[in-house]
Amino acid sequence: MPHLHIDTFKEISLPQTKDEVSFHFIAKNANHDDEKLIAVKVEDDEFFLLVKEEQNKHLLKTDKLTRPASIYNVHKALLSYAKTAGLQIVSSNVPQTQKNIHLQEVSALKSINYFASEFPTDKEVHIEVGFGSGRHLLHQAAQNPHILFIGIEIHRPSIEQVLKQISIQKLDNLLVLDYDARLFMELVPSNIVGKIYVHFPVPWDKKPHRRVISTTFIEEARRVLKVGGKLELRTDSENYYAYSYETFIAFHKTILHINKNKDIAVSSKYEDRWKKMEKNIYDLTMINEENSEMLSLEGDFEFSDVTLSHEELLALHKVTKKLDGCFIHFERVYVLEDGVMLRVSLGSFDRPEHLYVIVRGSEASYFPSLPLKSKSNLLAHKFLDGVLHG
């Protein structure tokens, strides 16, 4: 992760803009003096820089909850703040280079709000979850120009690598998203997807609740897949394969195809390595045979007037509220110059969203963007609104 180790942290006057980077406000952790967040905007990306004190020096990096997909924008914000504040940099892994020519205009990288507000439906859609190096995803997009491919990945270097190749190969049928695929599936329209690829997911043997394949994920896959559409799992983990088979077969009605050491048109560098090691590769393919009802989500993320006092808001630190079907956990509380900011996790117990809520006076809003419009998030928001309203 890009970061700067600095001798002493210095605040700057806010708001101000420097080198095309806008600095808006600072949020200070109400319970730990060693943590601050700096709200910044670079191009269309809004996110936080995190200041953390450790062993008599300070670490300046991007906040993991809000970091943008563009690593270049993170680099730019870090260097701009250091320059503006006159910080003494002890060590750095941030390159002082210009933006890659193939990333000057990145139209393929989309935010979750793009899909939530205007999901493209004019073509059949194929989705790859965790595309890694992108070798398989790029090959499929190049070979099938009539199909829209959506690649989902959270590893930033992998995202940048694929974006460069999209530019080089001039692919106009491939979109990239940095988001939790399990949440993304909840907003995909029904019956429009031809294939879902889940190739070599992290096994999460010690944390099975973090696995992509689950009963809920399969239910969403069955809804979004058209008749004859396929969910393809490919894994080198025998445990993951066995777990997934049991999860698929538990459905009352399902069609499964199973292959072992099947050759495909293009393989990843990891798969090539595993084959050299004579490691087994397992394929499990589910074929959908039913049309689903259209997706319908009612509600919004507007807040009513906040009635809690400043002290009552600060007292929410570490408080958890549970409701049937959702929950809210107030992870941290921050003090602003003109209000309070809450870091919360909310929504589904298995795949919660982590985000910030800013409260200024009687007004509350999410930062830097709204939660994903899902059933559990809408329910959790209504619950949260009630808590803040008192």
**Is the pTM for the entire model greater than 0.85?**
no
Model confidence pLDDT, tens digit, residues 128-137: 999 998 999 9
Query: What is the bridge-based pairing of β-strands 125-129 and 57-62?
Result: unpaired
Residue 369 DSSP code = S
Confidence of residue 55 (pLDDT cuts 50, 70, 90): confident
Residues in the chain: 390
Query: What per-residue confidence (pLDDT) applies to 112?
Result: 86
Residue 321: how many other CB atoms lie within 10 Å: 17
Query: What per-residue confidence (pLDDT) applies to 105?
Result: 57
| Helix count and strand count (H, E) for the chain | 10, 20
Distance CA 54, CA 290 (A): 56
Residue 208 DSSP code = G
The structural domains of the chain, with segments of one domain joined by +, span: 3-92, 107-287, 310-389
The amino acid occupying position 25 is F
Query: What per-residue confidence (pLDDT) applies to 277?
Result: 83
As a whole number, the mean pLDDT across the chain is 91
Span 30-58, average pLDDT: 92
Model confidence pLDDT, tens digit, residues 259-299: 999 988 887 777 788 788 888 999 999 999 999 999 888 88
| For residue 355, pLDDT beyond 70 | yes
Confidence of residue 43 (pLDDT cuts 50, 70, 90): confident
Model confidence pLDDT, tens digit, residues 66-120: 988 678 889 999 999 999 999 999 999 888 766 565 555 568 988 888 898 889 9
Between 32 and 374, where is the model more confident? Answer: 32
Span 291-312, average pLDDT: 92
Query: What per-residue confidence (pLDDT) applies to 39?
Result: 97
| For residue 6, pLDDT beyond 60 | yes
Span 57-73, average pLDDT: 87
Distance CA 72, CA 99 (A): 6
Span 327-338, average pLDDT: 96
Query: What per-residue confidence (pLDDT) applies to 99?
Result: 59
Distance CA 6, CA 157 (A): 24
What is the percent of the chain with per-residue pLDDT over 90, rounded to a whole number?
69
CB 362 within 8 A of CB 307: yes
CATH superfamily of 107-287: Vaccinia Virus protein VP39 (3.40.50.150)
Span 362-380, average pLDDT: 91
Query: What per-residue confidence (pLDDT) applies to 67?
Result: 80
Query: What per-residue confidence (pLDDT) applies to 106?
Result: 67
Which of 203-207, 303-307, 328-332 shows the lowest mean pLDDT across its residues?
203-207
Residue 57: how many other CB atoms lie within 10 Å: 15
Which of 39-43, 152-156, 221-225, 241-245 shows the lowest mean pLDDT across its residues?
152-156
Distance CA 181, CA 178 (A): 9
Query: What per-residue confidence (pLDDT) applies to 156?
Result: 83
What value, to the nearest 5°, has the Cα angle with vertex 99 and ends 149 and 111? 35
